[in-house]
Structure 1
Amino acid sequence: MYPNEKLSEEKVFKDPVHRYVHVRDKVIWDLIGTKEFQRLRRIKQLGTTYLTFHGAEHSRFNHSLGVYEIVRRIVDDVFDGRDDWDRNERLLCLCSALLHDLGHGPFSHSFEKVFHLDHEHFTRAIILGDTEVNAVLRRVSDDFPKKVAEVIAKTYPNKLVVSLISSQIDADRMDYLLRDAYYTGVSYGHFDMERILRVMRPREDQVVIKRSGMHAVEDYIMSRYQMYWQVYFHPVTRSAEVILTKILHRAKHLYLAGYTFQTPPVHFHSLFVGNIQLQDYLKLDEAVVLYYFQQWQDEKDEILSDLCRRFINRNLFKYVEFHPTNEQMKKLMELTTLFKKAGIDPEYYLVVDSSSDLPYDFYRPGEEEERLPIYLLMPNGELRELSRESTIVDAISGKRRTDHKLYFPQDFLDDVSTKRNIKKKIKEILEG
């Protein structure tokens, strides 16, 4: 039977983070070979971060393999033979881990925000739709694609399976922290994953951690905190994201207004009219988007061509700290007026960007994005929520940190053609 079918010889992928990714199950090997999974080679894991950290060129493809490898180690080496683990769920865990990011679009979250998309929706659509991935999964059983989609949607009845892929200490987070730290060259994201895997234990609803492994989990949580503020929310990366977002907004505005493009955005048609179909979505990758940006540098529309030149040539916006107080909002309104007087469109060239992260939280029933806490397994068999045992985690639990920046094109403000009195006022406000 296909569910238990093994390859005649184990396949391995050489991996810089896990050394090797091991594949013995034929279904996993066949899923990797599908065109929908191969598309992930053309989607960067960190979006525009390569414009800040030049090594960050890795893809969703190798991250997905990494998540699969961590889950494989957990179910084959850590959980196998333990009372609370149902070995019949093994293949479901492996497939869900491998396919969890299948629906990401080009430049991932920036792309989603502009077009109001949800990559998890597209992940489920690929798994359940008329795709090569679906055909492979159905060879396991007719209802197997539905089970994988339920794990992705976090609705699968076995919450332990879900927690391996999506929780506050899951294989997804562990891989992207280690992988992103490796490729960006920073030291913040490193933690002792080997220790965490050794002290993981299966329970009916989720993974728990032996009390002796608490310090390794503390290190993991602090690593995540540092990576968000030093890498993921880096202000230069956010500047590139602002420009990327404004390019897509401008192109959509022009398209709906009937503007005649020199290079018509045929790949964006269904996105611009709000009727994106799965097959159109799967044709989009970062190579396609960058092709249009390259071509649109020569468009007659000055805003679109300027923004594309900035992105392609890394001529990014400058930024200043911005706090959305009444006084700062008045300054923003004044800046908006001054930008208009200077002939600079504030809609595209004066942008407030905010980033926010909650490094760890305990259970808050009914709140948006409910978070299952991390539980420690005490020597007497009792389960204790992590922040009740760790003073380090307690200090950051439930504390959301938010950062605001105001982005603008410094070169426009330096242009001698801008009226001097306006330039002076703008400079005073930005430096004030």
Structure 2
Amino acid sequence: MNKKKIINDPVYGFISIPSGFIFDLIQHPYFQRLRYIKQVSMTHLVYPGALHTRFQHALGAMHLMALALETLRGKGIAISAEEEEAALAAILLHDIGHGPFSHSLEHTLVEGVSHELLSSLMMDELNEATMGRLDLAIEIFNNRYPRRFLYQLVAGQLDIDRMDYLSRDSFFTGVAEGVISFDRIIKMLNVIDNELVVEQKGIYSVEKFLIARRLMYWQVYLHKTVISAEQMLLKILQRAKELYGAGHSLFATPALEHFLRNKVTRQNFTEDALHLVHFSQLDDTDIWSAVKTWAHHSDRILQRLCSRLIARSLYHTELHAVLPEEGQLVQLRAEAVNYFDIDVADVDYYVWVQSIENSAYEPNNGTIRILMKDGSIQDIAEASDLSNLETLSRKVQKFAVSFPKELVHTPLSMH
């Protein structure tokens, strides 16, 4: 069978599958499942084109990794065929542990279990199935390989993952502010002492990358309507778990039922392989089929949340720089209790406040190092003459207040 396929990608054109081993990884059910998990969760309710998947993102990231390795080789960096295959496998599988609706439900179905841990567990299983062929990819993925630049390409401040998702998400949402010069950044990459650096000529492309990331967070990922939809989905699953716990009957696929019925923690995942089996069968369709069915459930709270989400009758959401006054929130909750004739104990399904944070550059999580013309290395914050780069590294916190549109009145005041 010919495994040297090419795939037509709307962002980059033709993507080549570089080897039979990579093809086999793509064909595995763990990876094929990513076709049915949307990359940006509920964002399509604001930007209708944003229906792209984790599958597309992973293939795009693999393509960019191949370009980066080719660039580094061209600059005299020795990269063996084994290292190349491992780096391609690591970036291809970096998101394999994402659950339905990506980040939205990350700590809801399975508490305290990150997609990185699940990716790691799935990679271990694939490694066993391929007789240790993923050993080096796993070393790179977990930052245990001495040639650290390979890990930095997979998960760093200027990694291949971010380059693809910014390019892809801006393409599918149509938000031009997210467009980055990924090709120029890749051409400017180099390696000094096994650490990834960007040549000084690429400094403006890196600045644009950081600004684009900040704008995409506020304009797309943390858009108030997207936040509203994601939180409604979260509350739906919270209510479903509550009803299951009280002995109510609910429609759910076997995989979804497993996580609604059982409290599955990080420890459970590492101790019993059955949880991973169920998780690997979960995707967006499990959740969406349940939501469509629960829209007709006898429980008023579950029925109302589901039917509103399906009809895109989303909760009104306001973003505030500081926490709204407690008195106003108390009043809002009282209005919800009266208007919807509900118990005070259930008011959190109608009115909620969440904290959201955004920082485009996190120097404490590894820095972006610039190779200056004189051979010295500087952090991007020092090397850049962009006065607001320091601002980009500061965490911005906002508070989102959501409640049904029926309760919309004068905007909430703040402390």
* TM-score relative to the length of structure 1: 0.86
Query: Where in structure 2 are there 5+ consecutive unaligned residues?
Result: 270-274
Q: Is the 8 A contact 1:335 1:429 kept in 2?
A: no
2:166 to 155, 177, 182: 177
Give the Å deviation of 1:134: 4.7
Measure the CA separation in 1 of the matches of 2:285 and 2:232: 17
Q: Is the 8 A contact 1:242 1:351 kept in 2?
A: no
Measure the CA separation in 1 of the matches of 2:307 and 2:29: 32
Give the Å deviation of 1:298: 1.0
Aligned to 1:409: 404
Measure the CA separation in 2 of the matches of 1:282 and 1:223: 33
Measure the CA separation in 2 of the matches of 1:81 and 1:319: 50
Give the Å deviation of 1:232: 0.8
Distance 1:14 1:316, change over 3 A: same
Distance 1:310 1:156, change over 3 A: farther
* Amino acid of the structure 2 residue aligned with 1:321: L
Q: Is the 8 A contact 2:295 2:302 kept in 1?
A: yes
1:111 to 90, 105, 115: 105
* Amino acid of the structure 1 residue aligned with 2:355: S
Aligned to 1:271: 259
Give the Å deviation of 1:191: 1.7
Number of residue-to-residue matches in the alignment: 396
Correspondence list, 1:190-339, <5 A: 190-261=179-250, 263-264=251-252, 266-272=254-260, 273-275=262-264, 277-325=275-323, 328-339=325-336
Aligned to 1:427: 409
Q: Is the 8 A contact 2:4 2:20 kept in 1?
A: no
Secondary structure of 1:80's counterpart equals helix
Structure with higher RCO (Cα < 8 A, 6+ apart): 2
Give the Å deviation of 1:109: 1.4
* Amino acid of the structure 2 residue aligned with 1:350: V
Distance 1:264 1:98, change over 3 A: closer
Q: Is the 8 A contact 2:224 2:318 kept in 1?
A: no
Larger displacement relative to structure 2 (20-29 or 271-280): 271-280
* Amino acid of the structure 1 residue aligned with 2:73: D
1:394 aligned to 2:392? no
Measure the CA separation in 2 of the matches of 1:407 and 1:165: 36
Over residues 266-292 of structure 1, what are the superposed CA-to-partner deviations in whole Å (9 max), with x where a residue is unaligned?
433332322360010011111111111
Measure the CA separation in 1 of the matches of 2:350 and 2:102: 23
Measure the CA separation in 1 of the matches of 2:337 and 2:321: 22
1:121 to 108, 113, 117: 117
Give the Å deviation of 1:259: 1.4
Measure the CA separation in 1 of the matches of 2:162 and 2:97: 17
Correspondence list, 1:339-418, <5 A: 339-342=336-339, 343-344=341-342, 345-362=346-363, 370-392=364-386, 394-411=389-406, 413=407
Over residues 135-186 of structure 1, what are the superposed CA-to-partner deviations in whole Å (9 max), with x where a residue is unaligned?
24x3xxx2x4343233333343331110011111111000000100010011
* Amino acid of the structure 2 residue aligned with 1:69: H
Q: Is the 8 A contact 1:210 1:376 kept in 2?
A: yes
Aligned to 1:367: none
Measure the CA separation in 1 of the matches of 2:175 and 2:411: 35
Distance 1:192 1:428, change over 3 A: closer
Secondary structure of 1:181's counterpart equals helix
Aligned to 2:272: none
1:35 aligned to 2:29? yes
Distance 1:318 1:193, change over 3 A: same
* Amino acid of the structure 2 residue aligned with 1:403: K
1:51 aligned to 2:45? yes
Find the structure with the greater CA-based Rg: 1
Secondary structure of 1:120's counterpart equals helix
Q: What fraction of aligned residue pairs are identical, expressed as a percent?
A: 31
Measure the CA separation in 1 of the matches of 2:146 and 2:314: 47
Q: Is the 8 A contact 1:267 1:284 kept in 2?
A: yes
RMSD between aligned alpha carbons?
2.2
Correspondence list, 1:12-91, <5 A: 12-75=6-69, 77-80=70-73, 82-87=75-80, 88-91=82-85
Larger displacement relative to structure 2 (375-384 or 174-183): 375-384
Measure the CA separation in 1 of the matches of 2:245 and 2:3: 54
Measure the CA separation in 2 of the matches of 1:398 and 1:294: 41
* Amino acid of the structure 1 residue aligned with 2:185: I
Q: Is the 8 A contact 1:239 1:317 kept in 2?
A: yes
* TM-score relative to the length of structure 2: 0.89
* Amino acid of the structure 2 residue aligned with 1:297: A
Q: Is the 8 A contact 1:319 1:406 kept in 2?
A: yes
Distance 1:255 1:9, change over 3 A: closer
Measure the CA separation in 1 of the matches of 2:169 and 2:243: 36
Give the Å deviation of 1:8: 6.2
